[in-house]
């Protein structure tokens, strides 16, 4: 894939009670699951975005620190867009272990020059498993300089500006976007 990828791992994991990235699921830590997935896509470069450089970060993956004060994934995507050498950036949350290679390739097949894609589940966008065009960097910087740090708000603006296209998620695909916030979320799977 002619894109860059960022694994978003900057959350505080308050509900989990420990670093989500190191939680085991089906015999592997969440960070291992997500990096194996990203490597299958063969992006031009892979970043990990977090508040501090995680001990588990593979040596061949570049760390990108959230610019203080951190505004969660908004900060991570903004800084990653500024660093990317590719025309598009795939953003993926560390706590979405069900997302598949096939689905991410499906997203990739729908990008165009200067236009990315964001899955839409019912009436909500899923900005943490989306592909952003490098041209969205200015919009992310503007959002960080403002008072509204909601990715939902920013995604709506990007869709209205023609920089993102929404792709409806069908009922069967919804399970791909389940995220892990508590240990009980893993036990249910």
Residue 166 in tokens: 């929404």
pLDDT at 125: 96
Cβ neighbors of 122 (< 8 A, separation 6 or more) are none
d(CA 81, CA 144): 13
Distance CA 128, CA 118 (A): 9
Q: 34-43 burial string, b = 16+ CB within 10 Å, else e?
A: bbebbeebeb
pLDDT at 189: 53
Q: What is the Cα–Cα distance from 106 to 189, expressed in whole angstroms?
A: 24
Q: What is the pLDDT of residue 179?
A: 83
Tokens 């200015």, residue? 138
What pLDDT was estimated at residue 10?
67
Q: Two tokens at 96?
A: 């979405």
Number of domains in the chain: 1
Range of the domain at 71: 4-187
Tokens of residue 20, six digits: 């989500």
Alpha-carbon distance values, 60 to 19, 72, 126 (Å): 21, 24, 28
Query: According to the 3-state scheme, what is the secondary structure of the chain?
Result: CCCEEEEECCCCCCCCCCCHHHCEECCEEHHHHHHHHHHHHCCCEEEEEECCCCCCCCCCCEEEECCCCCCCHHHHHHHHHHHCCCCEEEEEECCCCCCCHHHHHHHHCCCECCEEEEEEECCEECCCEEEEEHHHHHHHHHHHHCCCCCHHHHHHHHHHCCCEEEEECCCCHHHHHCCCCCHHHHHCC
| Residue 126, pLDDT score | 97
Q: Of all residues in the chain, what percent carry a pLDDT higher than 90? A: 75
Mean pLDDT (10-residue bins), the chain, 189 residues: 90 54 87 95 95 90 84 92 96 94 97 97 96 97 92 97 97 91 56
**CATH (domain of 45):** 3.90.550.10
């Amino acid at each position: 894939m002619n894109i860059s990828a960022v694994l978003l791992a900057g959350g505080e994991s308050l509900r989990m009670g420990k670093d989500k990235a190191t939680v085991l699921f089906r015999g592997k830590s969440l960070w291992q699951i997500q990096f194996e997935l990203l490597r299958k896509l063969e992006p031009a470069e892979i970043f990990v975005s977090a508040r501090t450089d995680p001990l588990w970060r593979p040596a061949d993956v570049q760390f990108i620190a959230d610019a203080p004060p951190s505004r969660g994934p908004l900060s991570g995507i903004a800084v990653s867009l500024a660093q990317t050498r590719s025309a598009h950036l795939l953003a993926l949350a560390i706590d979405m272990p069900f997302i598949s290679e096939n689905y991410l390739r499906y997203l990739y097949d729908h990008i165009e020059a200067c236009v990315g894609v964001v899955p839409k589940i019912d009436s909500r966008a899923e900005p943490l498993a989306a592909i952003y065009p490098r041209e969205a960097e200015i919009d992310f910087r503007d959002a960080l300089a403002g008072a509204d740090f909601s990715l939902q708000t920013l995604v709506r603006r990007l869709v209205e500006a023609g920089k993102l296209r929404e792709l409806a998620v069908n009922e069967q695909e919804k399970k791909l976007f389940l995220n892990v916030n508590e240990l009980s979320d893993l036990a249910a799977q």
